[in-house]
Structure 1
Amino acid sequence: MPLGNTADRYGTVAQTLHWATFLLLLGSFGLGLWMVELSLSPQKLKLISYHKWIGVTVFLLALVRLAWRLYSPPPPLPASVPAWQQRAASAVHGLIYGLLLAVPVTGWLGSSAKGIPTVYLGLIRLPDLIGKDPELAEQLFRLHWVLNKTLLVAVSVHVAAALKHHLVDRDEVLARMLPARLSRR
């Protein structure tokens, strides 16, 4: 399997970045939903740190993914896909990429405004993006929540469309993002 994308398939790099991002999002969503229900404790603080680590990693992966798309453009959708679906796919991909950047940044901004440092992997203290402002922190965390829900909807639409192509249309749209050994029918 080539590292770069080809005319009809995503390469190893794009596939690895895609599936790593997906797994991190699953973990982050689950962790975020679980930790918000907990009362303040050392356990909750540890979970918040893990959530931040995942968020920073997703942000970095999104930057790498965007750079990789410039270096190795994705394969075009098959000609059998109607133009309106191609436009919708492009819009959903753009929304997902924007949210992969915006969601972590709003979390980081909220933490900065709350006066709680973000220390990546417990080793690298990231700079506060804004000064301490508890009222602004609450607004930013609400925005973070709304953007997370929007990302969840966008990813769900993306998954549903991929499954529709695979199960209903029986085309190769989903198979292009699967490792070659999984995409054979």
Structure 2
Amino acid sequence: MSTAPAPGYRPLTKVLHWSVVVAFAVQFAVGYALDASESGRGRGRGRGRGEESGHGRGRGRGGDGYEPFGEDALLTVHVLVGACIVVLGVARLLWRRRTELPPWAPTLTPFERRFAHRTEVALYALTFVVPVTGVLLLASDDDGLLWVHVTAQVGFLAALACHVGLVLKHQLVDRDRLLRRML
């Protein structure tokens, strides 16, 4: 087993990767706060459930208008961070098509290479699916889309757990310093 790291990713690749990581961390934190808020505009446990279900769209119902910098500030942040995630996702895809990836780390088994590739495809796809389903949820009167949005989030978190798990396995068990390629 070699302890020398395989050639790493380019600096812009790393910046885009970690920018998406930070954006999703912020997005999940804001989404959780929005869901738990008493304003109910997050369609969660607040007043957006039940009789006043229409409040979850941020468009307001019954003279209860959208206040982007007031009561609805969390929703505004959530939408803006979602838009940033889409822009970062597009930038990552364009950059990925334009630049060559480093060779696979020599310590990855053929199974791990296939697993890493499939996980990466899922993460890229869900980088768009999660925000798009959020916009559709915001723009529609169909509360059934909440299930789609949440399912996409769960899928993203599952793919992320697989991705991080493989990296941690190589970092902590195999001790091949695989993580350094992206730092």
1:30-179 map, 5 Å: 30-40=29-39, 44-113=71-140, 134=141, 136=142, 138-178=143-183
Whole-angstrom CA distance in 1 between matches of 2:133 and 2:93: 19
What residue number does 1:129 align with?
none
* Moved beyond 3 Å, runs of 4+: 41-44
**Bigger radius of gyration among the two:** 2
**Amino acid aligned to 2:9:** Y
- Identity rate of aligned residues, in percent? 30
CA RMSD of superposed structures (Å): 1.6
User: 1:74: how far off?
Assistant: 1.9
Check whether the contact 1:35–1:47 (CA below 8 A) recurs between aligned residues: yes
* Structure 2 unaligned residues grouped into runs of 5+: 1-5, 41-66
What residue number does 2:53 align with?
none
Count of aligned pairs: 150
Q: Taking structure 2 as the reference length, what is the TM-score of the superposition?
A: 0.77
Change (3 A) 1:44 1:93: farther
Whole-angstrom CA distance in 2 between matches of 1:174 and 1:30: 25
Which structure is higher in RCO with an 8 Å CA cutoff and minimum separation 6? 2
* Structure 1 unaligned residues grouped into runs of 5+: 1-6, 114-133, 179-185
SS at match of 1:174: helix
Deviations along 1:117-154, whole A, 9 cap, x unmatched?
xxxxxxxxxxxxxxxxx1x2x12222111111111121
Check whether the contact 1:35–1:44 (CA below 8 A) recurs between aligned residues: no
